[in-house]
Structure 1
């Protein structure tokens, strides 16, 4: 019998459990990872970016979502569910939606514990989304930001 720590969840089980969970957890190809709490600096940066985006996004018919809306990404290796710090979607989501599949902007605020994942695996998965136009990484410690923008020629950094 496999060790329970290495058992994967089906997509349906993950969504069912996550909907009632008191802890946010991301799911990568059936493996579930709890999300750590955030520092005050992290939360303030997220709040400021959300505030800065909100009015201009709404004026263009877009919707800005904080970190409690998952993004679903289907790759050749499986399904991933991530909780970006901020995601912008061009169309309103169904009120019962548990996730979005076509964000146009994703923002991740980097921390000591997450920066390697946000800059590598998540970046690769986010940039595979046809709808995505920009991926913004904000380093809370160094105050440096990097934006990946989609152009007709491809992604520029």
Structure 2
């Protein structure tokens, strides 16, 4: 079996600059993603609608499908990235990403999200990672604390504000899933038999 060609970050970024679609470089190997569903696209569009104005007020730029370098030979393309670094129209990667949003879908399920999360957590500037489910109403929020440790929170209820302190704003599931019909995660119900009624 032929070995996969190893690419540097510069080689990868130059190779994909004129290509349609979404690609990532993982330990020197380039991968292409399958096309996203309408729900996936609507969610990141909804998130952009909420975060763009707040980002501007803080001097940050909020973009979709932005490249984030998470290692010497790894580049991830996140669904939404808030970049608070110096403006550079020619930049191919976010210079100071602070908030990263990943929207899950069947096309990305084959990738190890836990590994990707650890990479994001290893980037000094990133303080918040949102993992949004596209088929059920569920958001996992990962936040960096002042001590450098990370906390996790799962939000499954509509109407609850998810604080995004970097932008002095918040977002709710109502805004994230606006115009979509998503259901809560199924709950296990325990049915208890009454022995006295069965006699």
Q: TM-score range by the shorter chain?
A: 0.7 to 0.9
Q: Structure 1 residue runs of 4+, over 6 Å off?
A: none
Q: Where do residues 1-157 of structure 1 align in structure 2 (5 Å cutoff)?
A: 3=2, 6-67=4-65, 69-74=66-71, 78-115=72-109, 117=111, 119-153=113-147, 154-157=149-152
The C-alpha deviation readout for 1:13-51, integer Å capped at 9, x for no partner, is 212211122333211111010021110000111100100
Shift of 1:119: 2.9
Structure 2: 5+ residue stretches without partners: 153-199
**Does the aligned pair in 2 maintain the 1:73–1:101 contact within 8 Å?**
no
The C-alpha deviation readout for 1:67-92, integer Å capped at 9, x for no partner, is 1x211122xxx421111000001134
* SS of alignment partner, residue 118 of structure 2: helix
**Does the aligned pair in 2 maintain the 1:102–1:129 contact within 8 Å?**
no
The alignment's TM-score, normalised by the length of structure 2, stands at 0.70
The alignment covers a number of residue pairs equal to: 151
* SS of alignment partner, residue 137 of structure 2: coil
Taking the aligned partners of 1:10 and 1:55, their CA distance within structure 2 comes to 35
The C-alpha deviation readout for 1:64-122, integer Å capped at 9, x for no partner, is 0111x211122xxx421111000001134311111114200000001134246363111
Shift of 1:137: 0.5
The alignment's TM-score, normalised by the length of structure 1, stands at 0.87
Structure ID, larger Rg: 2
